[in-house]
Each structure stands twice: as C-alpha cells, then as structure tokens.
Amino acid sequence: MKSIIMAGGSGTRLWPLSRKNYPKQFLDLFGKGSFLQLTAKRLLSFTKPEDIYVVAGKDYEHIIRGHLSSVCSKSFQNIILEPCGKNTAPAIALCIKYFIEKENCKPDEVLFFSPADHIITPEDMFSKALEASLNYARKAIVTFGIVPVKPETGYGYIEISDTGEDECYRVNRFVEKPSFEKAMEYLNKGNYLWNSGMFLFSIKVMLDAFKRDYPMLYKMIKELSYEEMLKQYSSLDGISIDYAVMEKESNIFCRKLDIEWNDVGSWDSVYEILSKDENGNATKGDVVLVDAKSNIVLSSEKLTAVLGTSNLAIIETADAILVSDRKYAQNVREVVNILKSRNRKEADEHVTTYRPWGSYTVLEESERYKIKKIIVNPGATLSLQRHFHRSEHWVVVKGSASVKIGEKEMIIHENESAYVPKSTLHRLSNPGKIPLEIIEVQNGEYVGEDDIERVEDKYGRV
C-alpha cells in the first residue's frame, strides 16, 4: 500500500497565518509540528516510510522536503509535483500514472489518499479502521465518514445505507455543505456522516471509476506517458474527486468512524482544538485579556491586548491583523479575495519567505531600500547571481559565511561585513554546522525581488 498526502491547498480561511507562499499544511499551530508532519507521523503507523508520498505544487517542493526529512527520511524524495493546481481529481490521476509508470505498481496496488491538514484522535483507532478496509478497497472505492457531533454547516456529508458489515456501508449519496436546518436534520437521522475527504482504493478500482465517470482522465492515464501528462496538465479542468467521480459512482463504501476529527478549516475550528482559560479564551503568544470571553487570540509578533469582547477571532501577524466574529470564520476567504483584487501582496506573501537554502524576512522596506534578515541552512548555498538595480551590504550576525563577489572569495564571521556592488556576480554559502544569520541592506533605484539574474543554482532555478 502507498499512502499519499495531498498538500496542494492554499488554506485561505486561516488567513493571515496561512497564505499562498506558506499555506496551512506547513503551519505549527499547536506546538507539535506542522500539519504535514503530523499527517506523515499518523501514516507511519500503517505505512512504511518509503511508501509515503506527497502530491503538491512545485513551489512547495523544498518546504515539503524540509518538513518530512525529520519524519520519513533524511532526504525525503517521494514528491509528485503538479505543474499547477487543478484540484483533487487531476492530482489523483497524476499520482496513479506516476505509480504505474515510475514505480511499476500493479493494478491491485492499494492507494490511500489523505489531506495534509486534518487532526484525528485516537490515531490507533483510525489505523485499525483503515487496515480493516483494505479488502473492500480491492473491489470498491472506500471513503471515510465521521460520526457528527453537532450540526456543522462547513462540512460535506455522506448518506450511508442502513445495513453494513464491519462498520462499512454502501454510500447512497454525497451531500454538499448544508444549511443549519438541514445539518440538524442529518444529525437527528443518524445515517449521515461528515465527509472526511480521505479515500482508499486499488489502482484498478479507480481506473474503472474514471472510465465510467470522467473518461478524459482515464484516457490520459492510458494513452500518455507521465511526462506527456505533465505537459498537458494545465489544460485540465480543475475539478474535485467528489464532483468528478464520487457523486456519480455507485461502487463506493463508507467506513464509519466514531472518532474525534477536525479539518481545521477555519479559526473557529482552531478554537475548538486549543486549550481554554477559565473564561473560554484560547490564546497563543503575547496576549493580555481583560473581561474577555470565548475569544481566540493568536499573537505572532506584538503584544495583543483584548478588552471587553466575546466570541471574536483576533489573529495578529507581522504585517496583517484579522478581527472577526467567530461565527463568520468560514468567510475569511472573502477578505483574501478582496486583497487579491487590489493586488495586495498580503493575500499571498508573508514577510518571511522560504527558499531551498533557508529563508529571508523583510524587516523594513521603502522605495529605494530594503532590509532583510537572511537565514542560510548549514551546507546550503544561494545561487550565483547579480542584480542590475541595487547594491547589497551583508553583516554576519551569527555563524560564518563563505562569500564570492566577482573574482574575490572570502570567509566572513560574526560582526564582519561584505559589500556587493550593482551588476556584480556574487554568491553566499554557509560552510558551518549552525544556521547562518545575516542582515542584508539593499539600496538602489529598484529593490523588487525580480531584479535577479541567476547564472548557476544547485536547486535548478536557473
């Protein structure tokens, strides 16, 4: 069996902490590791480390490798890269093609697909339920339905038949996110489960389903090579596996799970998971509360004081603050859409940006200058590059830097500096055993990130 983590989502409902360049699946909200790491650890209870894969966009490759190198292997390589985001149906089809062509998997190979950002407890009960479903997966698609504990309007539902064996039931239909009244009706009926978005099936079972329900993907898998499929991937419709297959398919079973499950799809969901004080407030970071009840307050950078409020979500980051009634938590993506329409970088970018070699944080920026804190991982190297509109001045704060500027190469240590003139080829490396931290001051008529010409790059970005 292969386990595949779907990690391509943008997590807009958890803005401003989750943004396109570093979305929800990479966040550590509970101090136990990122959602991606927690998911991989859960999969390890029934999957060998070498059989865990991640499917995601190419922009996240180095982040995924960094997160899972400490969980699955020192150099995690099992990443299936989408050329662009096209939702879950094309992603699953691409994975199937990959396993057939690149891993020589047989038609009876069972695949388990899991989102990257869910919380499940107890994990041992989930693992046992999945292992008990393997026989069903060789003859049908198996999905996993969670016994609802409240009338939730933010989840899809699965209507199951009245009879089943081993907690596995035939699926009658899939239902979209309902109104509160409908959700209450489903809760009372007892045969409606929350749709967890997890699927278990053999390659043959899903190929047959694609053939019946979405022939375009079946044809691509059968007729194209993996490389040809990648080239045509952008032409595919962005469609979920629910719309493409599940809502049409009759050969589906649902494993009923009476466990704690949360898709962490909104700040209200995060509130449910975090521990609360005596007034029902969930906090993280530097927070002061006075006469406040039932709030979630997360402070990343600044002291956040909350006075006389109830049932709010207050999320503070270095460059943006969200204040929302918790009952509107599902609508945060509307804020992101407005920011995108105004071309605001805060919709997609954090002040900290992650690169294959480490990260940089913008400390201050104006029209003619920019100040960054740069972290270079041990053994990592930036590209050999130059800028035509700015000069750079580096000051080492921690560690040692190997610097190439034009024809000159040197090592600079803490409290030493180097100057890079405009249009001069240069490269920065960390030869040491600890992270290298430098302060970079850029100055010039243009300090945009696109003023860069890469000549050589070990990460393939030339």
Give the rounded distance of the alpha carbon of 411 from its chain centre: 37
- pLDDT at residue number 462: 84
Q: Where are the domains of the chain?
A: 2-262, 267-340, 352-456
- pLDDT at residue number 163: 77
**What burial class does residue 244 get, using C-beta atoms within 10 Å of its C-beta: 0-12 exposed, 13-18 middle, 19+ buried?**
buried
> For the ranges 72-76, 368-372, 383-387, 413-417, which has the lowest average pLDDT?
72-76
What fold is seen in the domain 2-262? Spore Coat Polysaccharide Biosynthesis Protein SpsA; Chain A (3.90.550)
By percentage, how much of the chain surpasses pLDDT 90? Answer: 91
Beta carbons of 315 and 298 less than 8 angstroms apart: yes
- Cα–Cα distance for residue pair 176/186, rounded to 1 Å: 12
pLDDT digits (tens, 9 = 90+) for 370-404: 999 999 999 999 999 999 999 999 999 999 999 99
79-82 and 52-57 beta bridge pairing: parallel
- Cα–Cα distance for residue pair 460/462, rounded to 1 Å: 6
- pLDDT at residue number 73: 78
What's the whole-number mean pLDDT along residues 38-56? Answer: 96
Quick one: pLDDT band at residue 459, thresholds 50, 70, 90?
Answer: confident
Q: Is the pLDDT of residue 60 over 90?
A: yes
pLDDT digits (tens, 9 = 90+) for 318-368: 999 999 999 888 899 999 999 999 999 999 999 999 999 999 999 999 999
Q: Is the pLDDT of residue 253 over 90?
A: yes
- pLDDT at residue number 162: 83
> Tokens 């995108």 sit at which residue?
340
Q: Is the pLDDT of residue 225 over 90?
A: yes
Beta carbons of 3 and 43 less than 8 angstroms apart: yes
- Cα–Cα distance for residue pair 244/136, rounded to 1 Å: 21
Give the rounded distance of the alpha carbon of 456 from its chain centre: 29
User: Against a cut of 0.75, is the pTM above it?
Assistant: yes
Sheet strand arrangement including 390-398: 352-355, 358-365, 369-376, 436-444, 390-398, 417-420
Quick one: pLDDT band at residue 8, thresholds 50, 70, 90?
Answer: confident
Q: In CATH, which of 3.60.20.30, 3.40.190.80, 2.30.30.100, 2.60.120.10 is domain 352-456?
A: 2.60.120.10
217: tokens are 């993907």
> Tokens 């570093």 sit at which residue?
22
116: tokens are 């990257």
